[in-house]
A and B are shown apart, each in its own frame.
Chain A
Amino acid sequence: MNDNQNLLKWAIRAYLLIFFSYMLFPLAYMMLIAFNESRIPTHRDFTFTLNWFGEAWKDARMWDGLENSVYIALLVVAISITLGLGGALMLVRLQVKAKSLVYAVLVSPILAPGIVLGISTFIFWSQQLGFRASWWTAAFAQSSFIAAYCMLIFMARLQRFDTTLEEAGLDLGASPRQVFWRITVPYLRPAFLSAGALAFLQSFENYTTTYFSIGAESTFTIFIANKVRQGVTPAVNAVAFIIVATTILVAIVYEVRRRGREKRAAQAARQAQAADVAMAAGLAQTQPQSA
């Protein structure tokens, strides 16, 4: 029995090792090449250099693409949060007939291939309505599904909202608008933050939908894709290095903060419990009052 268990344990370890190497190795290799002097991206004849970072920095088209990516991302955040919030409020708080239908329609862009979203947006705004395809149309295309993600985040938060808080607000004299801004919106603040972050990141790294709806303009990811399609120098790897390194950094910071928050929450819970025990004990001493 023990032999079998041992075998299983090693099999699991091997499996994990293979899986995670498969996941991480190609990225590590790609980042490594950024430091090799060779003109062709390769690891051979490795000579350390930082030149390619400089090359990347000088590329005007990269900065153009980056600029567009940021504009689009900001616009998408604004649109998606607004629409997502409206959708979430309707589906969680109102009694609407055909709720399932509305939900299915609003969520459908998540389940549609990105290329279809890009094309349909392009056809509608550019071909049918005659607008020039630009970063605006790309933002619209992206928003159709990113708003759905935001809506899901808001819905999750709203479903745990205690509606008696709103009643309490009304009871104390607040108008519905005051209740919304002073009670509901502050409660949703974490949802705003995570929805906003999610929207920004998803917009920034999107390729296919953007490519098909943006017409002739460029974004950061389109720039990278173009570079890779044409002739390649390790300048692309340099850019890749920065992106992946930033991702790793953000991930680590996020994890550290999360652990910190968990620790503090556990501490606060323990303190509150102690306060109650103390109060009950203290009361036992001051009991002789007008009972």
Chain B
Amino acid sequence: MREALQRFGPFGVTFIFGSVAVWALMLILVPHIMLLDYAFHANPGAINKGLAEEGFTFYSFLNLFDPNDDLALRTFTRTLLTSGVITLLALVVCYPLAYYLAKVATRQWLSILMLCLLIPYWVNEVLRAYAWRTLMSKNGLFNQVFTAVGMEPVEFFNYELPVLDANIALFVGLIYAYVLFMIFPMFNAMESLDRNQVEAARDLGATWPQVHRRIVIPHAKPGIASGCIVTFMLTAGSFIVPVLLGGKSSFWFTQAIESQFSVLNWNGGSAYSLVLEFVCLVFVLIMMRVFRVTLRDITR
């Protein structure tokens, strides 16, 4: 502390501790505590009707597990399952590209290709979703092409994918919206890998799959973990993409949260938000365990 005072003076130390305190408390911790508080209380309407007690209660969570109405639960599982599948898909699709950019592409090509990736990355998610909506509408470009070659037009917004219970448009749209978040962390992690290591491995007789399994992937672990976490969370927590592309039956969990809010059920909305956040937290911890990375590793 004495050294801190010597280096920064009293004003400096006040500024540093003050800003961290304000940030941590007012913007992060206290709002969260409020969220917890609201989630574990019932909304006034239900209390008045005698459906729930005042004070600490699980009432606001109950709707999710209501045996009579499994809409909320189905929405929840749909969201998690689809997000998981999309994350996996994004990982598989983006890994080769990340490796290519990090290790194979020449310098000129690299900057051009990166530019081509950064541009959609910087475009707003709303517009990214909107772009697909036009393409996939009943008389949109895809269906036109299909009819032109003699196929049946596809109802992208209504055709439910098996198991996932989500429609094609939403599935494709979500991938499009968030796949880039998988590439950049992996690219960053792979870039720092010394190319000589790969060459040394090849020189010692390793096949390409072996090189990747034994050298590239271990080195890129933080990037892979980071990419998976971000992609999963953005997909599970996505709001406007399901709104625009979800159609009538592919309700997303975030929309369930919104519908609670639209009837002014702050408590119910808080409870659902907490559930979503809890799931994401668990996912993050699992990823950190599986890939054996720390928090510092994954935050860029």
Q: A and B: direct contact (Cβ < 8 Å)?
A: yes
Is B300's beta carbon under 8 Å from chain A? yes
- Whether a CB of chain B sits under 8 angstroms from the CB of A67 is no
Q: Which residues of B contact A147 (CB under 8 A)?
A: 23, 27
Which residues in B have their C-beta under 8 angstroms from that of A110? 299
Binary contact readout A37-49 vs B (1 if CB under 8 angstroms, 0 otherwise): 0000111100000
Q: Which of B12, B129, B134 contacts A177 (CB 8 A)?
A: B12
**Docked pose: A30 CA to B124 CA in angstroms:** 13
CB within 8 Å of B: which A87-127 residues: 87, 89-90, 93-95, 100, 102-116, 119-121, 123-125, 127
CB pair B122 A251 closer than 8 Å: yes
Knowing A12-B100, A103-B296, A247-B123, the reply to whether A124 touches B28 (Cβ < 8 A) is no
B23–A225 touching, CB < 8 Å = no
A128 at interface, CB cutoff 8 A: yes
Chain A 7-22 near chain B by CB (<8 Å), digits 1 or 0: 0000010011001101
Complex interface: chain A residues within 8 A of B47 (CB): none
Cβ–Cβ contact A27 & B35, under 8 A: no
Query: Do B131 and A90 touch (CB < 8 A)?
Result: no
Residues of chain B within 8 A of A57, CB atoms compared:
none
- Cβ B116 vs Cβ A20 within 8 A: yes
Would B96 and A15 count as touching, CB distance under 8 A? Answer: yes
Which secondary structure dominates where chain A touches chain B?
helix
- Confirm or deny: B193 has a beta carbon within 8 angstroms of a beta carbon on chain A: no
CB pair A102–B20 under 8 Å, yes or no, is: yes
In whole angstroms, what is the CA distance A224 to B123 when docked? 13
Chain B interface residue count, CB cutoff 8 Å, equals 87
CB distance from A178 to the nearest CB of B (A): 9
Q: What are the residues of chain A within 8 A of B227 when measuring CB–CB?
A: none
Is A82 close to B, CB under 8 A? yes
Of the listed residues A85, A110, A116, A259, the one surrounded by the most CB atoms of chain B closer than 10 A to its CB is: A116
Contacts of B266 in A (CB 8 A): 123, 127
Q: Which of A203-211, A267-275, A281-289 participates in binding chain B?
A: A203-211
**Could you tell me the distance between the alpha carbons of A244 and B119 in the complex, rounded to whole angstroms?**
8
Q: How far is the CB of B141 from chain A (nearest CB, A)?
A: 6
Q: Is B80 an interface residue (CB 8 A)?
A: no
Closest B residue by C-beta to A80: B23
- Beta-carbon contact of B27 and A42 below 8 Å: no
In the bound complex, do residue B236 and residue A255 qualify as a contact, i.e. CB atoms below 8 Å apart? no
B7, B15, B180: the one within 8 Å of A86 (CB): B15
- B229 and A111 contact, CB distance less than 8 A: yes
Interface range for A: 35 or more
B contact residues around A41 at 8 Å (CB): 134
Q: CA separation between A113 and B235, bound complex, in Å?
A: 9
The verdict on A29 contacting chain B, using a C-beta distance below 8 Å, is yes
Interface centre among B20, B122, B238 (most CB of A within 10 A): B20
Q: Is A66 an interface residue (CB 8 A)?
A: no
B100–A247 CB distance below 8 A: no
Contact with A along B82-124 (1 / 0, CB 8 A): 0000000000010011001000000000010101111110111
B140 & A42 in contact (Cβ 8 Å cutoff): yes
Decide: B29 and A105 in contact? CB cutoff 8 A.
Answer: yes
| Chain A residues near B (Cβ < 8 Å) | 12, 15-16, 19-20, 22-24, 26-27, 29-30, 33, 41-44, 82-83, 85-87, 89-90, 93-95, 100, 102-116, 119-121, 123-125, 127-128, 140, 143-144, 147, 152, 166, 175-177, 179-180, 201, 205, 207-208, 211-212, 221, 224-225, 228-229, 236, 240, 243-244, 247-248, 250-252, 255, 259
Residues of B within 8 A of A (CB): 3-9, 11-12, 15-20, 22-24, 26-32, 34-35, 38, 93, 96-97, 100, 111, 113, 115-120, 122-135, 139-141, 144, 176, 180, 229, 233-234, 236-240, 243-244, 254, 257-258, 261, 266, 269-270, 273-274, 276-277, 280, 284, 295-296, 299-300
